[in-house]
């Protein structure tokens, strides 16, 4: 039994090139790697490069959310009234998209399109918000996803720094493939790089989006194969 994000991390070295989309070129080298994946929650994992790649899981998604702007300060204050602890998962996940939308609408920063509000009553709200943002048909949805993508870039950059992930960052999970045009943007890249004196260092890190939903399954199969051939995984 292995952690789902750990399983996804195990898939990185065996994924086909067609399963990945590069959104920041960087410089490909053999070094530590990081995996971050927003879906129903927020998962984070690392891949240590010693004599070989060795993935390991974490619970980094439950670390405290840290804002980087006045608007995000307001988002944090808003969410503190809703949750006992405001973690990164509260803003970077399907429910996190809904939390950002609720913040923007309830604090009168953006007005939602009426047909979107009605549709949210019948379908998964995060999916409705995402689709409306991609179609550019709802100001509140567009702004929600702009904030979401900026926050995603910021936390991906945080993880890259913590892991010294100069071998690359990999964006997985169910949301990323569906919003690829939004992730492949200056909004994401600027937030990723906005780390003061380490901006130049982070600019060298390649960033890939994992497009296949089978990555955790492929990673688990890879681990099973290693164990079947008496290869160490710990």
For the stretch 121-161, pLDDT in tens is 999 999 999 999 999 999 999 999 999 999 999 999 999 99
Question: Where do we find the tokens 């870039």?
Answer: 153
- Convert the pLDDT of each residue in 174-183 to its tens digit: 999 999 999 9
Mean confidence (pLDDT) of the chain: 95
What is the Cα–Cα distance from 92 to 112, expressed in whole angstroms?
Answer: 20
Q: Of 117, 107, 59, which Cα lies nearest the Cα of 81?
A: 107
Rounded to two decimals, what is the model's pTM?
Answer: 0.95
Question: Could you tell me the two tokens for 218?
Answer: 């492929």
| pLDDT above 70 as % of the chain | 100
**Cα dist from 14 to 19, 29, 105, 157, 171, whole Å:** 10, 16, 43, 24, 16
- What pLDDT score was predicted for residue 81? 96
Q: In this predicted model, what pLDDT tens digit does every residue of 31-40 receive, in sequence order?
A: 999 999 999 9
Q: How far apart are CA 16 and CA 108, in angstroms?
A: 45
DSSP output for 55-74: EEE--GGGSBP---SHHHHH
Asked if residues 41 and 88 have their Cβ atoms less than 8 Å apart, the reply is no
Residues 71 and 59: beta-carbon distance below 8 Å: no
Does residue 230 carry a pLDDT above 70? yes
Plot region of 173 (φ>0 → left; ψ -120 to 50 → alpha; else → beta):
left
pLDDT per residue over 75-106, tens digit each?
Answer: 999 999 999 999 999 999 999 999 999 999 99
Q: How confident is the model at residue 234 (pLDDT cuts 50, 70, 90)?
A: low
Cβ neighbours of residue 102 under 8 Å, at least 6 residues apart?
none
| Spatial distance between the Cα atoms of 181 and 161, rounded to a whole number of angstroms | 25
Distance of CA 72 to the CA centre of its chain: 17
Residue-level pLDDT at 136: 96
| Structure letter (DSSP) for residue 172 | E
Give the model's pLDDT for residue 15. 95
CATH class entry, domain 36-171+207-234: alpha beta
Confidence of residue 201 (pLDDT cuts 50, 70, 90): very high
Q: What is the pLDDT of residue 50?
A: 77
Gap between the Cα atoms of 142 and 182, Å rounded: 10
CA angle 39, 116, 130 (to 5 degrees): 25
Which tokens go with 12?
């990185």
161: left (phi over 0), alpha (psi -120 to 50) or beta: alpha
């Amino acid at each position: 039994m292995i952690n789902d994000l750990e399983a996804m991390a195990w898939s990185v070295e065996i994924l086909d090139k067609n399963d990945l989309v590069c959104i920041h070129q960087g410089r490909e080298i053999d070094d530590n790697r990081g995996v971050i994946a927003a879906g129903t929650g927020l998962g984070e994992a690392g891949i240590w490069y010693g004599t070989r790649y060795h993935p390991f899981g974490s619970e980094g998604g439950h670390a405290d959310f840290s804002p980087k702007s006045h608007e995000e300060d307001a988002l944090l204050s808003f969410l503190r009234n809703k949750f006992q602890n405001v973690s990164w998962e509260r803003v970077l996940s399907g429910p996190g998209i809904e939390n950002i939308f609720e913040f923007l609408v309830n604090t009168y920063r953006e007005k939602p399109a009426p047909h979107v509000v009605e549709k949210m009553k019948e379908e998964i709200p995060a999916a409705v918000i995402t689709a409306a943002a991609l179609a550019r048909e709802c100001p509140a949805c567009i702004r929600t996803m702009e904030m979401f993508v900026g926050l995603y870039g910021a936390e991906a950059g945080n993880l890259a720094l913590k892991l010294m992930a100069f071998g690359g960052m990999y964006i997985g999970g169910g949301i990323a493939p569906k919003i690829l045009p939004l992730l492949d943007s200056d909004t994401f890249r600027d937030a990723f790089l906005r780390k003061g004196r380490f901006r130049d260092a982070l600019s060298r890190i390649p960033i890939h989006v994992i497009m296949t939903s089978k990555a955790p399954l492929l990673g688990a199969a890879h681990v099973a194969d290693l164990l079947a051939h008496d290869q160490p995984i710990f």
